[in-house]
Structure 1
Amino acid sequence: MPMRSWFSDAKLGIFVHYGIYAVEGVPESWAFYTGQVSHEQYMKQLGGFTAARYDPRGWAALFARAGARYAVLTARHHDGVALWDTEHGDLDVVRRTPAGRDLVGPYATALREQGLRVGLYYSHSDWNHPDYASVLHPSPSPTHQDVLTSRWVAPRGGVEDPEAWARYLAYRDGQVGELVDRYRPDLLWFDGEWERAEEQWGTDALAARVLGAHPDTVCNARLIGHGDYATPEQGVPLRAPDGPWELCLTVNDSWGFQPGDTNHKSVRQLVRYFAETIGTGGNLLLGVGPREDGTVTDEQAERLEGLGAWIAAHSEAVYGTVAGLPAGHHYGPSTLSADRRTLYLFCFDPPREYVAVRGLRNRVKRVSVVGTGAPLAHRVVGGLHDVPGVAWIDAPASRDVDAYATVLALELDGELDVYEGTGRT
Structure 2
Amino acid sequence: RKHGLKLGLYYSLIDWSHPDYPNFTRTESRYNVTEDPERWQKFLKFDFDQLDELNKYKPDLYWFDGDWEQSAETWNAKGMSEFLRKANKNVIINSRIQGYGDYATPEQGVPVVRPEEKHWELCMTMNDSWGYQHADTNYKSPYILLRTFVDCLSMGGNMLLDIGPKEDGTIPEEQVAVLKEFGRWTKKHKEAIYDTRAGIPSEHFQGYTTLNEAGDVLYLYLPYKPNGPIEVKGLMNKVNRVWVVGDGEIIQSKVYNKNYWSEVPGNLYIDVPEHALDPMITVVAVLLDGPIKLYRGAGKVIESN
Range of TM-score over shorter length:
over 0.9
Offset of residue 424 of structure 1: 2.9
Change beyond 3 A, Cα 1:223–1:158: closer
Question: Match of 1:115, as an amino acid?
Answer: G
Q: In the alignment, what sits opposite 1:129? A: 18
1:44-83 superposed matches below 5 A: none
Distance 1:158 1:114 in 2: 45
Pair 1:399-2:275 in alignment = yes
Distance 2:275 2:256 in 1: 27
Distance 2:264 2:298 in 1: 9
Offset of residue 114 of structure 1: 3.2
Distance 2:32 2:44 in 1: 22
Q: Any conservation in 1 of the 2:72–2:78 contact (CA below 8 Å)?
A: no
Offset of residue 294 of structure 1: 1.6
1:24-423 superposed matches below 5 A: 112-133=1-22, 150-151=27-28, 154-156=29-31, 160-181=35-56, 183-242=57-116, 243-384=118-259, 385-396=262-273, 398-423=274-299
If asked which structure has higher relative contact order (CA below 8 Å, sep 6+), I would say 1
Q: Secondary structure at the match of 2:9?
A: strand
TM-score by length of 1: 0.68
Question: Match of 1:131, as an amino acid?
Answer: D
Q: Any conservation in 1 of the 2:22–2:32 contact (CA below 8 Å)?
A: no
Offset of residue 190 of structure 1: 0.6
Structure 2, unpaired ranges of 5+: none
Question: Match of 2:22, as an amino acid?
Answer: A
Distance 2:159 2:148 in 1: 8
Q: Any conservation in 1 of the 2:48–2:80 contact (CA below 8 Å)?
A: yes
Q: Any conservation in 1 of the 2:235–2:295 contact (CA below 8 Å)?
A: yes
> Identity of counterpart residues, as a percentage?
44
Offset of residue 158 of structure 1: 8.6
Distance 1:350 1:133 in 2: 55
Question: Match of 1:113, as an amino acid?
Answer: K
TM-score by length of 2: 0.93
Deviation per CA, 1:302-342: give whole Å up to 9, x if none.
Answer: 21111111010010000111111111111111111111111
Distance 2:34 2:5 in 1: 46
Structure 1, unpaired ranges of 5+: 1-111, 135-145
Q: Any conservation in 2 of the 1:123–1:192 contact (CA below 8 Å)?
A: yes
Question: Match of 1:230, as an amino acid?
Answer: A
Deviation per CA, 1:387-409: give whole Å up to 9, x if none.
Answer: 2111011122x221100000000
Offset of residue 119 of structure 1: 1.2
Question: Match of 2:296, as an amino acid?
Answer: E
Q: Secondary structure at the match of 1:328?
A: helix
Q: Any conservation in 2 of the 1:352–1:395 contact (CA below 8 Å)?
A: no
Question: Match of 2:248, as an amino acid?
Answer: G
Question: Match of 1:222, as an amino acid?
Answer: R
Distance 1:228 1:402 in 2: 35
Offset of residue 352 of structure 1: 2.2
| Structural RMSD (CA) | 1.8
Question: Match of 2:245, as an amino acid?
Answer: V
Question: Match of 1:209, as an amino acid?
Answer: F
Deviation per CA, 1:33-65: give whole Å up to 9, x if none.
Answer: xxxxxxxxxxxxxxxxxxxxxxxxxxxxxxxxx
Question: Match of 1:400, as an amino acid?
Answer: A
Aligned residue pairs, count: 298
Q: Secondary structure at the match of 1:319?
A: coil
Q: Secondary structure at the match of 2:257?
A: strand
Change beyond 3 A, Cα 1:157–1:122: closer
Question: Match of 2:68, as an amino acid?
Answer: W
Question: Match of 1:329, as an amino acid?
Answer: H
Q: Secondary structure at the match of 2:266?
A: strand
Q: Secondary structure at the match of 1:285?
A: strand
Deviation per CA, 1:5-51: give whole Å up to 9, x if none.
Answer: xxxxxxxxxxxxxxxxxxxxxxxxxxxxxxxxxxxxxxxxxxxxxxx
Q: Any conservation in 1 of the 2:231–2:270 contact (CA below 8 Å)?
A: yes
Distance 1:167 1:156 in 2: 13
Distance 1:281 1:159 in 2: 41
Deviation per CA, 1:101-157: give whole Å up to 9, x if none.
Answer: xxxxxxxxxxx23322221111111001111117xxxxxxxxxxx98x632xx3358
Distance 2:18 2:290 in 1: 59
Which structure dedicates a bigger proportion of its chain to helix? 1
Distance 1:115 1:275 in 2: 25
Change beyond 3 A, Cα 1:291–1:117: same
Distance 1:289 1:267 in 2: 16
